[in-house]
Structure 1
């Protein structure tokens, strides 16, 4: 991904902060030493053009695996209480 400074020169992404799975803050720096501008750009997921070829089950498993264990337990407890109702 390329970033361009307001001065028109190329910039670089120095770091990133993943706020959510669909929203990332990009911390950028101008590569022109005379400029030295630093800025934050936002990268967001907009919409799907073609759905993933991965199965729904595979995507769900991957998402669950990436969750902290406490969050997984909370989710399964909620699902268990829903099934009892």
Structure 2
């Protein structure tokens, strides 16, 4: 970020997390003569590529809810499905 007044770079002084995906970012520009301060809202709108950890946890949760018969059926399906 650049200050619209002096073109100095912004420094984050404080972050106030309102939610896991929403924060208020308190900033000050680095030029001590200008010392312009502001609050910026930071949001996390969407995922471009999902985390591999999330996918692994989802699979583990699903497997843990299966009966032994359902687990065996899933294994049989995976063994007979060709790898692309």
Length-normalised TM-score, structure 1? 0.59
1:17 and 2:16 correspond: yes
Q: After superposition, give the CA deviation of every residue in 1:30-81 in whole Å (9 maximum; x if it has no partner).
A: 111111111001110011111110145748xxxxxxxxxxxxxxxxxxxxxx
CA RMSD of the aligned region, Å?
A: 1.8
> Where do 5+ consecutive residues of structure 1 fail to align?
60-85
Bigger radius of gyration:
2
Q: Distance in 1 between matches of 2:54 and 2:36?
A: 44
Tell me which residue corresponds to 2:80. Answer: none
Q: Gaps (5+ residues) in structure 2?
A: 59-84
Give the structure-2-normalised TM-score. 0.59
* 3-state SS, counterpart of residue 27 of structure 2: strand
